[in-house]
Amino acid sequence: MLLRATHNFTQDQLADMLEARQTIISLEKEKCNPLITLAFKLAIVFKCRIEDIFIYEGEIHNEKST
């Protein structure tokens, strides 16, 4: 994760801060999406917005009522 490296954190340091060792590894390998609580914690650690860390790539359906 570029953001982690920019802040000079190792995977282990970040995982220890967030108590999420396996999740950090999976996120960096793009094998999973974070829970919203973890996304908020990461944003706090890196002092940025969630949108600065994660890009939503799914579909958004807008349904209009008739």
- The reply to whether 63 falls in a domain is no
6 located within any domain: yes
The encoded tokens of residue 65 equal 């009522």
Judge whether 59 lies within some domain. no
Q: Do residues 23 and 34 make contact, with C-beta atoms less than 8 angstroms apart? A: yes
Q: Cα separation of 5 and 59, whole Å?
A: 30
The answer to whether position 58 is within a domain reads: no
Residue pair 14/24 in contact (Cβ under 8 Å)? The answer is: yes
In a domain, residue 27? The reply is yes
Domain of residue 35, residue span: 2-53
User: Would you state the torsion angle of the CA atoms of residues 23, 29, 33, 34, taken in this order, to the nearest 10 degrees?
Assistant: 30
- pTM (two decimals): 0.69
**In this predicted model, what pLDDT tens digit does every residue of 22-58 receive, in sequence order?**
888 888 888 888 889 999 999 999 999 999 988 777 6
The answer to whether residue 32 sits within a structural domain is yes
Tally of domains within the chain? 1
Residue 23 pLDDT = 86
28 located within any domain:
yes
